[in-house]
Amino acid sequence: MLKIGNIILDVPFFQASLSGYSDYAMRAIARECGAPMTFAGVFLAKSVIHPRVFNSPSFKPGDNEHPIGAQLLGEDAEIMARAARVVSQAGYDLIDLNFACPAPKVIRRKRGGFLLNEPDKVIEIYNAVKESVDCPVTMKLRTSFDNESYDNFWDISSRATAGKVDALIVHPRAVCQRFTGLANWEFLSEVKKQFPRTIIIGSGDLFSVDTIKNNMKNTGVDGAVIARDAIGNPWIFEQLREGDDFVAPTLEQQGRVISKHFNLVCKLYGDKKAITHFRKFAIAYCKLHPLRRKVQKALFAAETVEEFLAAVKQWYCM
């Protein structure tokens, strides 16, 4: 179980915010495979407060998606607070503040991970958001900006904890590392020891059930966020739930999920765009197929929806 403010998940893991991936289609599939909560991709606060964005149908979560988290990115406390109200009114159940993103364009604009250099600003944003909404507010942090000093991490997390943050989601890498090197889960043991009464959720290099369970057990964190592993492997949620009883999906079962995911993507973006949009998922799904390269080639060769679905049918024995 995992309790984040008023949200109670029956299992202590959920699907991460994955920009460019965690749209309605990916989230629906993750839920069907056992994710108790998912996140939309990060929203830029400045855009979210624009009626063109918040009135667009794809912005609102589906009725069957609760609980669902929204993550906000921005550097201005007042705009972040306004954006928080907008996403909360749109139906998102939890707001996560992104102080972790290492993308160069985000860092250049002094948002995301850059803000680990500015603890006062982080706390100003947190306080403004917390005051503006009733739903749980969490913070996603990396451990430092450049691996030279962790002082800002401890400063921010101590003040956020004192300010009753509903959870800290920690990806234990420095911002400058981006995704290189290993996530330092030992750091998470320290975080949990330091803040035993705060919900601490770990992220980073969670690519197998054993790693996820061992990392949680060894560090004492309360929960884990599944990120890259959930792309093309929604069964990770089922596997985490079922443990030793888990039976890996047959090729046919995989094919059915891939087709369903693809059809949802067609509905979201239209047939033409769906073919190219889905390629990044196809690459990931194919990793579980014994003839990975051949299947990927066949799926990439499809130029129409019918061709794509026929290729799935053929290679997944449906």
Q: Report d(CA 313, CA 281) in Å as an integer.
A: 17
The whole-angstrom separation of Cα 48 and Cα 212 is 33
Question: Considering the complex, what minimum distance in angstroms separates the CB of residue 306 from ligand FMN?
Answer: 29
Per CB under 6 A, 23 contacts ligand FMN: no
Interface with ligand FMN in residues 166-195 (CB under 6 A): 171
Answer yes or no whether residue 228 interacts with ligand FMN by CB under 6 A. yes
Give min distance, CB of 252 to ligand FMN, in A: 28
Q: Which stretch binds ligand FMN (CB under 6 A): 18-26, 86-94, 130-138, 236-244?
A: 18-26
Among 42, 141, 240, 264, binds ligand FMN (CB under 6 A): 42
Q: In terms of CB distance, is 122 or 302 closer to ligand FMN?
A: 122
Torsion, Cα 209 153 36 236, to 10 degrees, reads: -20
89 Rama class: left (phi>0) / alpha (psi -120 to 50) / beta: alpha
Interface positions, 48-77, toward ligand FMN (CB under 6 A): 71
Q: Which of 116, 113, 160 is nearest to 138 (CA)?
A: 160
d(CA 76, CA 248) in angstroms, rounded, equals 46
**Separation in Å, CA 43 to CA 1, 52, 96:** 27, 14, 10
252 half-sphere exposure, CB direction, 13 A CA radius: 2
Q: What residue type is 252 in one-letter code? A: E
The stretch among 11-19, 194-202, 260-268, 283-291 that binds ligand FMN (CB under 6 A) is: 11-19
Instruction: Check binding of 20 to ligand FMN (CB under 6 A).
Output: yes
222: left (phi over 0), alpha (psi -120 to 50) or beta: alpha
Distance of CA 172 to the CA centre of its chain: 15
- Window of 74-82, 147-155, 204-212, 281-289 that interacts with ligand FMN by CB under 6 A: 204-212
A 10 A CB-CB count for 208 gives: 12
Q: What is the DSSP string of 77-109?
A: HHHHHHHHHHHHHHT-SEEEEEE----HHHHHT
Q: What is the closest distance, in whole angstroms, from the C-beta atom of residue 4 to ligand FMN in the complex?
A: 15
Among 3, 41, 117, 300, binds ligand FMN (CB under 6 A): 41
Count the residues of the shown chain that bind ligand FMN, applying the rule CB under 6 A. 20
Q: Least distance from C-beta 101 to ligand FMN, angstroms?
A: 6
Q: Which of 13, 14, 21, 308 is the binder for ligand FMN (CB under 6 A)?
A: 21
- Cβ partners under 8 Å of residue 99, min gap 6: 112, 113, 115, 116, 122, 139, 140, 141, 142, 156
Is 35 one of the binding residues for ligand FMN (CB under 6 A)?
no
Query: At closest approach, how far in Å is the CB of 178 from ligand FMN?
Result: 10
Asked if 16 is part of the footprint of ligand FMN (rule: CB under 6 A), the reply reads yes
**Of 143, 137, 60, 285, nearest in space to 311 by CA:** 285
CA 32 – CA 238 distance, rounded (Å):
9
Interacting residue with ligand FMN among 15, 38, 88, 98 (CB under 6 A)? 98
Q: Per CB under 6 A, does 227 bind ligand FMN?
A: yes
Q: Among residues 80 and 298, whose Cβ is nearest to ligand FMN?
A: 80
Give yes or no for residue 140 binding ligand FMN (CB under 6 A): yes
Choice between 18 and 94, CB closer to ligand FMN: 18
| Comparison of 69 and 255: residue with beta carbon closer to ligand FMN | 69
Which parts of this chain interact with ligand FMN (CB under 6 A)? 16-21, 41-42, 71, 98, 100, 140, 171, 203-206, 227-229
